[in-house]
């Protein structure tokens, strides 16, 4: 494991130099501007579950440490009455409005937290090994596969991560203030395998 105690934090907007892909490199990129909302409500209330499904086209995940997704939205279980809603870039207002309309009259909370978070997309052959250098979760496929999610840390940054598919592909929800630090640590963790930057529109 890397010693991070004396390493400076990279500037937030720093664009790193990356090695060319060798087929064994980590592919990483920020999905800047994705809509991120916090949803609170009672999962035992059928009207709440039905309202969320109506607004997002997804069944609310009620099992701990799980996530569900369709072509446009992702719901991430955070706690017994707490979820993240991840949606397309610039659509936070529309998502919030749809949820409020579908859940009108219910005791719920819908909060746009897009400004405080960003999503990091990770894939490539060494992705599990790279994450394991700074994340204590067991990411072996026998215990953590597609549909699994969990709150954890990546070195000193608090994160929430989930596996998006079997490739494997992971996405990591990072507080915006930790973005530069997380990228710096990715660079440190990929000195042997290489790091290739993916850019998302």
Query: Given a cut of 90, is residue 6 above it in pLDDT?
Result: no
CATH topology of domain 34-114: Alpha-Beta Plaits (3.30.70)
What are 170-199's pLDDT values in tens digits?
999 999 999 999 999 999 999 999 999 999
- Cα 128–Cα 30–Cα 165 angle in degrees, nearest 5: 45
Model confidence at 201, pLDDT cuts 50, 70, 90, reads confident
What are 110-145's pLDDT values in tens digits?
999 999 999 999 999 999 999 999 999 999 999 999
Domain boundaries, the chain: 26-31+116-197, 34-114
What are 10-55's pLDDT values in tens digits?
444 444 445 445 579 999 999 999 999 999 999 999 999 999 999 9
Paired tokens of 93: 């207002």
pLDDT of residue 117: 98
Q: Which of 101, 95, 112, 93 is closest to 51 using CA atoms? A: 101
pLDDT of residue 21: 53
What are 76-86's pLDDT values in tens digits?
999 999 999 99
pLDDT of residue 23: 76
Average pLDDT of the residues in 101-105:
97
Average pLDDT of the residues in 69-78:
97
**In 29-178, alpha helices (H):** 46-56, 92-102, 127-132
pLDDT of residue 122: 98
Query: Given a cut of 80, is residue 158 above it in pLDDT?
Result: yes
CATH topology of domain 26-31+116-197: Gyrase A; domain 2 (3.30.1360)
Q: Which of 72, 118, 46, 71 is closest to 60 using CA atoms? A: 46
């Amino acid at each position: 494991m890397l010693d991070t105690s004396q390493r400076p934090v990279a500037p937030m907007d720093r664009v790193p130099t990356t090695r060319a892909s060798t087929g064994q490199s980590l592919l990483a990129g920020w999905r800047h501007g994705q809509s991120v909302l916090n949803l609170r409500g009672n999962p035992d209330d059928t009207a709440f579950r039905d309202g969320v499904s109506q607004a997002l086209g997804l069944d609310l995940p009620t099992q701990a440490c799980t996530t569900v997704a369709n072509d446009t939205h992702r719901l991430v279980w955070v706690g017994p009455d707490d979820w993240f809603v991840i949606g397309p870039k610039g659509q936070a207002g529309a998502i919030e409005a749809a949820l409020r309309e579908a859940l009108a009259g219910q005791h719920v909370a819908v909060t746009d937290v897009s400004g405080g978070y960003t999503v990091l997309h990770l894939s490539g052959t060494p992705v599990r090994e790279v994450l394991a250098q700074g994340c204590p979760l067991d990411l072996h496929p026998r215990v953590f596969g597609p549909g699994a999610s969990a709150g954890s840390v990546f070195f000193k940054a608090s994160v929430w991560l989930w596996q998006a598919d079997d490739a494997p592909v992971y996405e990591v929800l990072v507080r915006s203030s930790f973005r530069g630090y997380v990228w710096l640590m990715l660079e440190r963790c990929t000195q042997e395998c290489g790091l290739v930057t993916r850019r998302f529109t």
